[in-house]
Amino acid sequence: MNVHDLTGRTALVTGGASGLGAGMAQALADAGAAVAIADLQAEAGKATADAITEAGGTARFVSLDVVDDAAWESAISQTVSELGGLDIVVNNAGVEISGLVVDLDPDDVRRMLEVNVLGTALGLKHAFRAMRPEGVAGNGGAVVNISSVAATIAFPAISGYSATKSAVERLTKVAAAESGKLGYGVRVNCVYPGLVPTRMGMRLAQDMADIGLWPSPEAAVGDVIGLTPLGRLGEVADMADAVVFLASDAARFVTGAGLPVDGGMGM
């Protein structure tokens, strides 16, 4: 038996239009899952869904603003009706806004709190409602929340991001405990990705240089690599494979856990 085989299951990936989310969606589809690409970026989301379909998978674009409770209800309903169920939710959507504590902008912090914390919390809420025995899908399943190595280390100029990604870890554990206690049949885990050279990752490196903490983005990246025992940046596939593992039967007795996929940076 292939314990990583997700054939017959349906996944919803937030922030699935691009970057890590698109890679995770593709990996889930490659493992056999039908995938809902949930995002606000309609054009990019449809392109990602089309690419998965052209590669032999099954995917649909679903419009979703993760901070909108009603939008979650609609996205879940559409996913179940068009793809036949819901077994996996990946709460990947997130924003990172750099800045020193001494220059903290309340609006920037509120934005990260809304997307990274509230967005993940609403994803858990609606995943549970759909997957628990009396839900519209009703077969249990798995939720994978995307935290960050920023939740495990002290890196300058990302205090708000670090705080919100630490909150994702706590949400994961409490939700896992509730699901188990209440018999929902839903496992909940999180991943701590290291720095990946996506658009968001490279913008972070540029921010470090703009703030003056490093002389250049390349110097910032070099120091991150120097802090990483495996000696390289992460790749989208590294993170995507971890999500597939946690969503699959290979992780059937794993819940409330946080999996670092950071090359050892957060040790």
Which residues are marked as active site? 161
Q: Which residues pair with 199 in a beta bridge?
A: none
Give the list of residues 6+ apart from residue 186 with CB closer than 8 angstroms, or none.
127, 128, 131, 132, 140, 141, 142, 143, 179
- Lookup: tokens for 232: 């390289």
Count the Cβ atoms, other than its own, within 10 Å of residue 55.
11
Write down how long the chain is: 267
Helix H segments across the chain? 19-30, 42-54, 69-83, 106-112, 119-131, 159-182, 199-211, 217-226, 236-247
CB 230 within 8 A of CB 263: yes
